[in-house]
Structure 1
Amino acid sequence: MTVMDSVAPPAPPRTAAARLRWALADGWTITHRDLAHRARRPGQVVVELLFPVMIVLMFAYLFGGGMAIPGGGDYREFLMPGMFAMTMVFGVEATFTAVSADAAKGVTDRFRSMPMAPSAVVTGRCAADMLNSALGLAVMIACGLAVGWRWHHGLGPALAAVGLLLLLRFALLWTGVYLGLAIRNPEAVMAVQILVWPLGFLSNTFASPATMPGWLGAVVEWNPMSATVAATRELFGNPGWGGGSWAAQQAPLLALAWPLLLIAVFFPLSVRRYRTLDR
């Protein structure tokens, strides 16, 4: 037996406070690792930030002239809350790819062999993605201001709207983490896109649910993204589609309930899946 073999790993902390500090410290280590990887790929970061800006410019200046908003209102102010939400939703593919690539390459197994907090890898990954998401949302808000979008109900409601957008992103990140750990194949990102793109486009971002067939309009109104878009339009004071259904009238409530439900389901699933990767 070598000296290295005789060194036992440190025992996990026993008190709840010590375990929390342990988890936070290990989670920050993983967060720092993921951010360092992104810093080494500035070109990819720039493309990720500018792609949604290009979509905004296309819709605002190419299609905006042909769009009519119920009750009047500026199309660009109508558009931007939906684009903010789509930016939060479409980042799930990047989360899935990063998590599944680590799992496929054995990086995740290496982490699991270390004396780390069991939740550190998944929470660290989500923390890094949330920081990137906050940066992306800031770029989109700057883009919106540049094309004429404004909020009209004061700073407090505007910050609440930003909080709802980041909450949606946080909830969907756990979905991406779980799928990445479950599939463990970065090339399967197309399967994730098949799930994400309907979530983004079967929403009230571009079209009113009232103009759709009854069953499809109901699906759109109960879409978690639609709830966030409707709630943020209301908080920003931007024009929206309105609607008399319960889902349309209770959009702020659903904008909180849907993400919390997704977190309650996929956070424990992600941690459990991480613990049982080799089974």
Structure 2
Amino acid sequence: MSMLVHAEREGAREALSVRAAVGDGWAVLGRHLRKVRRAPAIVVMTQTMPVVFLLFFGYVFGSALAMPGSEYRAYLVPGLLVATAAGGVMTGMFQAAQDSHRGVMDRFRTMPVSRAAVPLGQALADLVTSAVGMIPMILVGLAMGWRIEGSALEALGAFGLLLLFRFAATWVGILLGLASRSEEAAGQLGSATFMLPLLSNAYIPTGNMAGWLRTIAEWNPISAVTTAVRKLFGNAAVPEDAAWPVTHPVAGSLLWSVALIAVFAPLAVRRYARG
């Protein structure tokens, strides 16, 4: 009987803890959104660069590849949307490092706030700004001739995968930002994440890559998400001779995203709580 009472108490305590984390997380979300409104430079930079890349790759590289220009642009837009989602690593790292090394995290730790709320609020704020930031990329892509060929439900699924992957990538960045030695170190490491989409099928097909490089590219989470988004938008067929995450892109994308959240979110919360 006592064990049953103890289990019920533990369950109630966990429910209260989750409720507190969510409630406090919404409050921290508001703080981050106000911060973005006062200093939008990083958001403008991270959302403007993909549009510049779309114009550059679409009109310069498109003429140099075997695909015709319009076909390559249809191939490229989903890849750049996923590359932008993967940029959550960089923005999450930079913002977490900034708050950590400027004493903001220390002030939060002195408040009666759930330890999970602070990193959760940052991740949610990044998700909101990313959802808004997709709009310019989509509009430019449409102006360049890209079209959503799939059904409305499939298109919603593609956008859902993009946001889920962005959420997962942000948790990776938050952990790395909290673990960084300085803002400068976080900025340098964040800039290096620019290479991740290059080692994937975001910009070019992996079929002509060297064997070892193709294996790395196809097991890159970005490749699975990119293939899934292209499939759901109806922009490209799924390769049949690729690695499992690419031949089963929707399942692979979900598994990669859930795995990243399951691993990095608890680690980020623990790192924040430890100080």
Fold conserved between structures, TM > 0.5: yes
Distance, in Å, in 1 between the alignment partners of 2:242 and 2:216 is: 12
1:262 and 2:260 matched: yes
TM superposition shift of 1:166 = 1.1
Distance 1:47 1:85 in 2: 17
1:46 positional shift = 3.4
What is the match of residue 218 of structure 2? 221
Match of 2:30 in 1: 32
1:107-154, CA deviations, whole angstroms, 9 ceiling, x for partnerless residues?
101101111111110000001100011111222112211211111111
**Is 2:142 the partner of 1:153?**
no
Distance 1:83 1:255 in 2: 16
The AA in structure 1 aligned to 2:106 is D
Q: Which one of the candidate residues 145, 165, 171 is aligned to 2:168?
A: 171
Where structure 1 has 5 or more consecutive residues not aligned to the other structure, the ranges are 1-13
> What letter is aligned with 2:48?
L
Distance 1:34 1:66 in 2: 42
8 Å contact 1:88–1:166 — kept in the other structure? yes
Which residue of structure 2 aligns with residue 22 of structure 1?
Answer: 20
The letter for the 1-side match of 2:84 is: T
Aligned match of 1:7 = none
Q: C-alpha offsets along residues 138-189 of structure 1, whole Å, 9 cap, x if unaligned? A: 2211221121111111110011111111111111111001011111411012
Structure 1 residue 263: Cα displacement: 0.8
Shift of the alpha carbon at 1:91? 3.4
| Cα deviations by residue, 1:23-79 (Å, 9 ceiling, x for unpaired) | 222111111111111111245543433221111111112221222239x97111111
In the TM superposition, residue 95 of structure 1 has moved relative to its aligned partner by: 1.5
| Structure 2 spans left out of the alignment, 5+ residues | 1-11
What does residue 250 of structure 1 align with?
Answer: 248
| Alignment partner, residue 56 of structure 1 | 54
Aligned AA (1:275) = A
* Matched residue type, 1:91: G
Aligned equivalent of 1:85: 82
Q: d(CA) in 2 for partners of 1:163 and 1:48?
A: 20
Asked whether the equivalents of residues 87 and 166 of structure 2 are also in contact (C-alpha less than 8 Å), the reply is no
Matched positions, count: 262
For 1:117, the equivalent position in structure 2 comes to 114
Q: Deviations over 1:192-243 (max 9, x none)?
A: 332x223211001222222111111111111100000111111111025724
Q: Distance in 2 between matches of 1:158 and 1:274?
A: 36
Amino acid at match of 2:241: G
Q: Distance in 2 between matches of 1:207 and 1:265?
A: 30
Match of 1:238 among 226, 235, 238: 235
SS at match of 2:236: coil
Matched, 1:99 2:96: yes
Identity over aligned pairs, percent: 41
Distance 1:73 1:36, change over 3 A: closer
Q: Structure 1 residues 89-98 or 258-267, which shifts more?
A: 89-98
Q: Is the contact between residue 78 and residue 240 of structure 1 (CA under 8 Å) also seen in structure 2?
A: no
